[in-house]
Amino acid sequence: MQLTQEHEETRRNLRRFIDNEINPHVDEWEEAQVFPAHELFRKMGALGFLGLTKPEAYGGMGLDYSYAALMAETLGHIRCGAIPMAIGVQTDMATPALARFGSHEVRSQFLQPSITGEYVACLGVSEVAAGSDVASIRTTARKDGGDYVINGGKMWTTNGTQADWMCLLANTSEGAPHKTKTLICVPMKTSGITVARKLRKLGMNASDTAQIHFDDVRVPQRFRIGEEGLGFTYQMMQFQEERLWAAASAIQSLTSNIEETVAYVRERQIFGKAVLDHQVVHYRLAELKTEVECLRALTWRAVDLYLQGQDVTELASMAKLKAGRLSREIPDACLQYWGGMGFMWDNPLSRAYRDGRLASIGGGADEVMLGIIAKHMGTLPRR
């Protein structure tokens, strides 16, 4: 699709913010295994970055989804994967269903302060025994008077130790698993909520990730998002955007991996000449750059069709699958050309190698994407 002057101005402003407010602190936040979410999000909220596509009535800018994709791609300039992921949870994972289907009251209470950055949001879907298989979650929200009483737990909750509220998916009735679930806004300071532990991960270290327990947590039923029993449907609807966001967010970071590697191997000498001068190296880097451009074309084609109102589930799944695969392949291939320096913990390719591994797991594993693509192709075996 053709980006406008307004798109490019948004890109420039966000890039400037990243250079001034994020990248100078990334190493410190990686070491601390947490970043100051409230401080950073308030700054982003003041500049409008947390509400680009959200309704103007609640402080958003009311722009179309192309601006969300542009933001995701631009966040790839951040020198780690953790901060873009945490921002993406705030803007494109915990809040889309709320923005679309929430009542005025619940949007005023939870969406508006999330757009300004006053509130940090987290998403409560995955559980210990239910990751990509969303239908198998076990957390329950039982009606009692005018409240829901919530019991269960959530796992791998990004922003979980700092969040002010959670967009929670829970079972509110018995029956077919796709029709029993409801999305509920849950204030994280409610009695009965426990951050069981902060999780130590292979990568994405600057982002805090938590395991959350719910023990008779009582919240008003008016905090429900949309209709009861449609939570699974709402979650599946926003997966199109979430997976496009994941694909777009990989483009610039993978480009940077290649560019940094080119700069390094141009200077690194081996067997009397620059590593870059070996044909096997510059040919391989050319292949990798071509793969990134294919991902860019696929992702933006899907965004363009999505803006036209088309169902892009298949293309979004393809883009997410390709982004996950390249997020493993490109850092691994580039790291090899750094030699022993690439194996150092604080090397940029070492960090990309660790962070990129999540892309084939989170938001639907590669195998789930392949299943969706096969379903659209009509090649799944008959039962």
- Whether the CB-CB separation of 113 and 158 falls below 8 Å is answered with no
Beta bridge partners, 276, equal: none
Weakly modelled stretches of the chain, pLDDT under 50: none
Angle between helices 348-356 and 313-337 (to 10 degrees): 150
**Amino acid in position 381:** P
Paired sense of beta strands 121-124 and 165-171, if any: parallel
Q: What is the pLDDT of residues 337-375, one digit of tens each?
A: 999 999 999 999 999 999 999 999 999 999 999 999 999
Q: What was the pLDDT predicted at 380?
A: 87
Q: What was the pLDDT predicted at 383?
A: 67
Please, what is the Cα angle at 237 between 233 and 241, to 5 degrees?
155
- Catalytic site residue from 8, 118, 242, 287: 242
Measured between alpha carbons, how far is 139 from 155 in angstroms, rounded to an integer?
Answer: 11
Question: Would you say how long the chain is, in residues?
Answer: 383
Q: Catalytic site residue 241?
A: no
Measured between alpha carbons, how far is 28 from 42 in angstroms, rounded to an integer?
Answer: 19
Beta bridge partners, 183, equal: 169, 225
pTM for the whole thing? 0.95
